[in-house]
Amino acid sequence: GENVEQHPSTLSVQEGDSAVIKCTYSDSASNYFPWYKQELGKRPQLIIDIRSNVGEKKDQRIAVTLNKTAKHFSLHITETQPEDSAVYFCAAVDSSYKLIFGSGTRLLVRP
Amino acid sequence: SAVISQKPSRDICQRGTSLTIQCQVDSQVTMMFWYRQQPGQSLTLIATANQGSEATYESGFVIDKFPISRPNLTFSTLTVSNMSPEDSSIYLCSATKLLGDRVLSDTFGSGTRLTVV
C-alpha cells in the first residue's frame, strides 16, 4: 500500500523567511496530493492540492511542486507570518481514494 | 466542498463502555472514512465506511472493536467498543467527493476528543 514520508518533523523560521516541507510517496498510481494545515485543537484544513498531471501550483504565498518520476512533492510558504505557525500534513490519495498522511511538520514562525 | 457535523465533540467514558460518534454531511458524498489521531501524531486511517455494506478496515483495526455504519450517502457512525485507556484519542471522519475517478474535495469533521478513564 501507499506510504508517505514527510520531513522535517519541526521547522522554525524567522518571520518573512520561506519554509519548505518535503514529502515522498511510494505508490506510483497515486494521483492526488493535498496539503493540510492543522491548528491546535482544530480539524485539518486543506490549504492547497496538486494532481499528478501538474508539476507546480501556486496560491498567493503557498506553492506546491510535484516530481512524479522521483515520487516526491513539496510545500513552499513564502513571506511567512506568525499565523502560519501550525502543523502541516502532506497526503497522497491511493487507488482506493484513501488519504494516506505523512507524519506532519510543526512549523514555528518567530516574530 | 461538503460541510460535516460531527458529534459529540468530546466525551469522558468509563472503561468497558462503548461510545458512538456520528458524522452528518450536508450533501451526498462518494466516500466516507474514519481516522484516529493520537496527541501530537498524524492521522491514522481506521476504515472506509461503505454505503450499505460492511466497512473496509485497515491493518490493526477490527470490526468488533470499531463497528461502523453508513446507511446512506450523507451519514456514518463509528462505535468505539469495550473501551480502554489506550483508546483515548481524537477520532475524525472525512468525506470525499469524486467526479469519475477525480477527487473533487476532501473534508474533515471537527473531531471527537475521547478520554477513557
**pLDDT digit string (tens) for A19-60?**
999 999 999 989 899 999 999 989 999 999 999 888 999 999
Q: Does A97 touch chain B (CB under 8 A)?
A: yes
Q: Do B42 and A34 touch (CB under 8 A)?
A: no
Q: Estimate to the nearest angstrom the gap between the alpha carbon of B116 and the chain centroid.
A: 17
Residue B17, Cβ neighbours under 10 Å: how many?
Answer: 11
Find the mean pLDDT for residues B22-37.
95
- pLDDT at residue B74 in the model: 95
Coarse DSSP helix, strand, coil percentages of chain A, rounded to the nearest 5 percent: 5, 55, 40
Confidence class for position B100, pLDDT limits 50, 70, 90: confident
Concatenated DSSP letters for B99-112? ETTEEEEEEE---E
| R_g over Cα of chain B | 14
Which residues of B, range 24-53, sit inside 8 Å of A by Cβ? 30-31, 33, 41-45, 48
pLDDT for A55-94, tens place per residue? Answer: 999 999 999 999 999 999 999 999 999 999 999 999 999 8
List the single residue in B with minimal CA-CA distance to A10: B40
Residue B71, Cβ neighbours under 10 Å: how many?
Answer: 11
